[in-house]
Structure 1
Amino acid sequence: MAEPFVTGPLDTDRRTGTSTTDVRTRRTGTTLLITIDRPRARNSVNAEVAALLAGALDELEADPGLRAGVLTGAEGTFSAGMDLKAALRGESPSIPGRGFGGVTEADRTKPLIAAVEGWAMGGGFELALACDLIVAAQDAHFGLPEVKRGLIAAGGGVIRLPRRIPYHLAMEMLLTGDPVSGRRAGELGLANRVVPAGQAVPEALLLAERLAANAPLALAAVKAVARAADGAPEAEAFAAQRTVMSELMATADVREGMTAFAERRAPQWTGK
């Protein structure tokens, strides 16, 4: 896990999870709902939002009672990406070691689900690509229009999109800058769930509950192995997996999972 990113107070009411900043967090059971709340700026990311998102991910990682996170945007828009006005003022929407929005290069052990309504453009799309799962509204739009501004999608878009969908389709999106709908994202296998407008967050929270029923250390191990295997030769991938499995097999949760199966009861995970 990356070193905690220290910011000022999030001005958060821990009883309700509400916040007066541009990023709100709310605990729902074992899930942390993280909402970018700059609707007047189409939930674009400036330096403050990046710092607050990094802090929210630290909150998710540090709390043993939280099993997964859901990332979304307020008022029907996921995120328009980089705040261009702030960038022209010299603000950076990236954090060293954590990438765009404090998310795209962050080292996370817990699953993060993107709940996408409306537009996920540029860096907004890259935030979604950095998540482990994506739930999209049918009328959502995903796009990487950076080439239309003389740029490239350097927050992970150029790297990740060709790994998520067929190469030629990814290159079409990257080279034209044209968006695709949520429905099309589902057809391409980019979205895990495609739902009616307004239902992305509820569906993502249900999906997070399904993840939370499983052993937290096993979820972290899946993420670790998948990350190590991405682009690596098969022999290196298996070597990395053996290391992770050796550590996992020594945990109390593995024994609990086997015992619960033998006793025909639900396991009681401790994360140890």
Structure 2
Amino acid sequence: MQQSFNEKIEELVEKGRKRDRDIEELQSHSVQQNSTVNGLISQIDNLKSDVTTIQQFDSEQNVTIQELSVSINSVNDTLHKQAQDFQTTEENLSSSIDQLQTNFVDLNRTLTVLSAATPLGHVFGNGSTDVENSGAVGLWTTDTLSDYSPILNGRMSFDGTAFTIPEDGIYYIYGMVTIAHDLVDTCGFSLFVRPASFLTANDQSVSGAQQSLFGSQVRKLQTGHRVVMTTTNCKYNFGIDRSYFGIYLLQREL
């Protein structure tokens, strides 16, 4: 009976030890589990950090891409505008070239006509400077002994103010005046076959600089017509190389 009790005691003690061992194993396993969980948590935190870094990088990349896109669009707009400007300039240049070619053709025609024309009269300014004139111009040289005396051919006559047409025909009439430098009024001249004006040349005189105005026209005139130059009320320079007035006969009336 005594032995059986001792055996029971030992059996209980052994069970207690086994339970302690099991508890220790469970505790050891729990520590390992905790260590594994902590490691996983640490890895998750690292992954989160990596994800955040990647997201930030992606965000920076998106900003950079957007900035590049804006820059590219700006460059494209600039290139497009420059292309349009170049096209406009090219069109304007082409138009200018066409106009120059037209002017050149007209000039050649005029020179061809004039080369076959007969100069009938040409008068020079009498040398007056800064002189006021309004109406018919009488400031032409009439000195027949001067190197700049009136040039008169055929039956053309000049009375100091007007040319008198000697025969029916087609005429080329021209003139130039120089505006004095100290005016700011609108000044200019007109060519008249009394009583009607057929050509007017006006301009705004700029203070500090002389302005020369030239005008010409082809007209059909009759015998006895008087051709006169008139000016507006301004100051002019009628130097021999600054103002002149003349007529060519292009074709006689048949």
TM over 0.5: no
The structure with the greater share of residues assigned to strand is 2
Structure showing greater relative contact order (alpha-carbon pairs closer than 8 Å, 6 or more residues apart): 2
- TM-score, normalising length from structure 2? 0.18
- TM-score, normalising length from structure 1? 0.18
